[in-house]
Amino acid sequence: MTPAAERSLTTYLIGFVLAVVLTAIPFAVVWGGLLAGPAVYVVIAIAAVLQVMVHLVFFLHLNFKSTPAENLFFLAFASVLIIIMVGGSLWIMTDLHHRMM
């Protein structure tokens, strides 16, 4: 094995362990009923966001040095679109829901 291959092997293994931990936490919380109420949703959301970042960094090898700037730009663009569209849909529909009650 070359040093570069060993480094990327370590990267994949670290990413995998982090992903397993970040999956186990929300499953344990829901399965074991460790928390109740809105706190559960907070834990699930934080674990999900962290795990997406772990996947991007350790599996898709995203970083500010070797990833082309255009790719990062499009990732940021898509993120903004997603936040506007998902956030907007949820906002409008919950508002509508409240008004229809």
Partner 1 sequence: MTELSAGNTLLLEEEEKTSLEAREFGFWIYLMTDAVIFALLFATYAVLANNSAAGPTSQDVFELSHTAGETALLLLSSLTFGFATIAMTLGRSGRVVFWLIITLLLGICFLAMEFVEFQGMLEKGAGPEVSGFLSAFFTLVGTHGLHVAFGALGICVMIGQVLIKGLTLPVRSRLVRLGLFWHFLDIVWIGIFSVVYLPGVM
Return the closest-CA partner of residue 20 out of 50, 45, 42.
Answer: 50
The single residue among 3, 5, 99, 101 that binds partner 1, judged by CB under 8 A, is 5
Q: Give 1 or 64: the residue with its C-beta nearer to partner 1.
A: 1
| Tokens at 96, concatenated | 């509508």
d(CA 26, CA 10): 25
The single residue among 14, 34, 39, 71 that binds partner 1, judged by CB under 8 A, is 71
Residue 9 in contact with partner 1, rule: CB under 8 A? yes
Residue 59 DSSP one-character state: I
Give me the torsion for CA of 62, 55, 29, 32, rounded to 10°: -160
Residues lying near partner 1 in the complex (CB under 8 A) are found at: 1-2, 4-5, 8-9, 12-13, 15-16, 19-20, 23, 26-27, 30-31, 40-41, 44-45, 47-48, 51-52, 55-56, 59-60, 68, 70-71, 74-75, 77-78, 81-82, 85-86, 89-90, 93
